[in-house]
Amino acid sequence: MELALLGHGFRYECENLCRLFFPYSPVRVVEGDPLAGGAGVLTEIAETDGGWQYTVKAVWEGRAAAHSETHAALEEYSLTDLLYRTLRELTGITPAWGMLTGIHPVKLLRQYCEELGDAAGMEKFRSRCHVSKDKADLAYRTLRAQRPVVSAMRPRDFCLYVGIPFCPSRCSYCSFVSQSVAQARKLMEPYFALLLEEIARTAEITASLGLTLSGVYIGGGTPTTLTAEQLSALCGAIRQGFDFSRCTEFTVEAGRPDTIDLEKLTALRAAGVTRVSINPQSLSDEVLRAIGRRHTAQAVLDAFALARQAGFTQINCDLIVGLPRDTLAGFRHSLDGVIALGAENVTVHSLALKRSANLITEGGDLSLHARREEVSAMMEYSIARLTETGYQPYYLYRQSRTAGNLENTGWAKPGTVCAYNIHSTDEELTVIACGAGGVTKLKDPSGDTLTRIFNFKYPYEYISRHEELLARKQGIAAFYRDVCKL
């Protein structure tokens, strides 16, 4: 897909809107008129007497659509709204999330509701962004579930994220920075030692600033690739370094059943972990094989039973909509199975295919990912089924190149909301990250300022440049001193 930007610099949103309608066609910005080649999108803004002329023309697979409007002001929204309506007419596709391309729709809805009140805020969200009623209602239900968590925040509160970038194998859809244990075994011991050092340094900095820990999340990768002894040491280092007087939750992703045993789960429970994630993604053995998982559906059930035996009363299970070889009937079986297990939290993801995923680089099966109707039916089933069985949506975010342009939603039984997930997705509270690939997000509690501090992505880089990484941590103190004035 070739895209021309004439008379304006609104490249980012125009590119994203083109990707919204043409997710499998790389967008390339060109000079001149792309329509001369028989396909492409032209966007143009030209100044006229007393206003601005906005024009969008698009041609694709023999179809054409064009619109032109005059507005008094020069603004991005007038152009992107016109581009959205033109591409909708050209393709016949009406995205359920309208023209939204960002990852935080609930955050945007919150802004509108705080500005205008709930009713008017919802109306603006739907009309301005072309969001369907069903998705707007889902966003509003999520917003309402988040309000008690957001209102309980204090200016000095923060969450801690600790990353373990190792997995037993790489799933075919995965684009996260993680390495298989077989490939990176020699890195695990030095990585772990330096991670404990980073945690200790972070604890010193937060204590000196008077910051208060409200939640801990150990993610990955797969943290349970560590041994039981390492998991005990990791949790112990966190408890020793940080004040837990206001910490209400401690989550560890035990995502892969083939890394879980009773010894590890017992060690986590003894260390004060309150919540674990056991993530089947599917309860179909055929689908699990297709995505490169080395475990069976029965292994998921066994791991869940072990977690209950170890004493865990809050367990999350992830499922993915749009996986290769999956069907609507198969997804229903998976979701019904997770509900029957009694999982307190269920997270339903839309398959997102990033360029580095093996499904892309190795030419995997993308057929279901491309079938919008079936993928949408899976998601609709999850919303209806989880609602009727007493779950509430409490966090929601979106990614690019997702199946059906849909969403990722976390669902919780009453009283089991994971506040960390709300804070990390809606960026309303500081999250300090340790480990390779971690991103610290420092939020000014009295304003909109959000500053990021990036850790090195890869374990080998995390190890070789660790002193430089520790030096970056001083940015936390500088932020709270210079921006927050705390």
CB 28 within 8 A of CB 7: no
3-state secondary structure at position 165: coil
Q: Is residue 100 part of a domain?
A: no
Question: Residue 216 sits in a domain of what CATH number?
Answer: 3.80.30.20
Structure tokens at 224: 């349970």
- What's the confidence (pLDDT) of residue 391? 98
Cα end-to-end span (Å), the chain: 49
Tokens standing for residue 333: 């079986």
Residue 211 placed within a domain: yes
Q: Are residue 155 and residue 24 in the same domain, yes or no?
A: no
Shared-domain flag, residues 113 and 171: no
Q: Identify whether the C-beta of residue 177 lies closer than 8 Å to the C-beta of residue 300.
A: no
Residues 249 and 225 placed together within one structural domain of the fold: yes
Query: Would 480 be classed as within a structural domain?
Result: no
d(CA 208, CA 158): 14
138 and 176 belong to one structural domain: no
Considering 129, 144, 159, which residue would you say is the last residue of a domain? 144
- Number of other residues whose CB lies within 10 A of the CB of residue 174: 18
310 near 341, Cβ under 8 Å?
no
Report whether the peptide linkage leading into residue 221 is cis, meaning its omega lies within 30 degrees of zero.
Answer: yes
Predicted pLDDT of residue 366 = 53
DSSP, collapsed to helix, strand or coil, labels residue 51 as strand
Starting at the edge strand found earlier in the chain, the sheet holding 408-412 runs: 392-397, 408-412, 345-350, 315-321, 275-277, 250-253, 212-220, 157-164, 430-434, 439-443, 450-454
Say yes or no: 225 and 311 in one domain.
Answer: yes
Domain boundary among 66, 91, 116: 91
Q: Are residues 212 and 280 in the same domain?
A: yes
Looking at the fold, whether 246 and 363 belong to one and the same domain comes out as yes
Together in a domain, 168 and 200: yes
Q: Is residue 333 part of a domain?
A: yes
Strand pairing report for 179-180 and 166-167: parallel
Residue 479 within a domain = no
Q: Starting from the edge strand earliest in sequence, which strands make up the sheet with 63-71, in order?
A: 28-30, 2-6, 40-48, 51-60, 63-71
Same domain, 117 and 238: no
The pLDDT score that the predictor gives to residue 26 is 86
Residue recorded with tokens 């206003």: 51
Q: Is residue 137 part of a domain?
A: yes
- pLDDT per position in the chain (486 positions), as tens? 899 999 999 999 999 999 899 887 889 999 888 888 889 999 999 999 889 999 999 999 999 999 999 999 999 999 999 999 999 999 999 999 999 988 899 999 999 999 999 999 999 999 999 999 999 999 999 999 999 999 999 999 999 999 999 987 655 555 555 455 556 778 999 999 999 999 999 999 999 999 999 999 999 889 999 999 999 999 999 999 999 999 999 999 998 899 999 999 999 999 999 999 999 999 999 999 988 888 899 999 999 999 999 999 999 999 999 998 999 999 999 999 999 999 999 999 998 865 544 444 445 555 555 578 899 999 999 999 999 999 999 999 998 777 778 999 999 999 999 999 999 998 999 999 999 999 999 999 988 899 999 999 999 999 999 999 999 999 999 999 988 877
Residue 99, domain member (yes or no): no
Q: Does some domain include residue 483?
A: no
Same domain, residue pair 246 and 168: yes
What is the structure's pLDDT at 361?
Answer: 43
Q: The domain that contains 72 carries what CATH number?
A: 3.30.160
Domain coverage including residue 130:
105-144
- For residue 182, the model assigns a pLDDT of 55
**Are 229 and 127 in the same domain?**
no
Split into its structural domains, the chain has a count of: 3
Q: Same domain for 205 and 69?
A: no
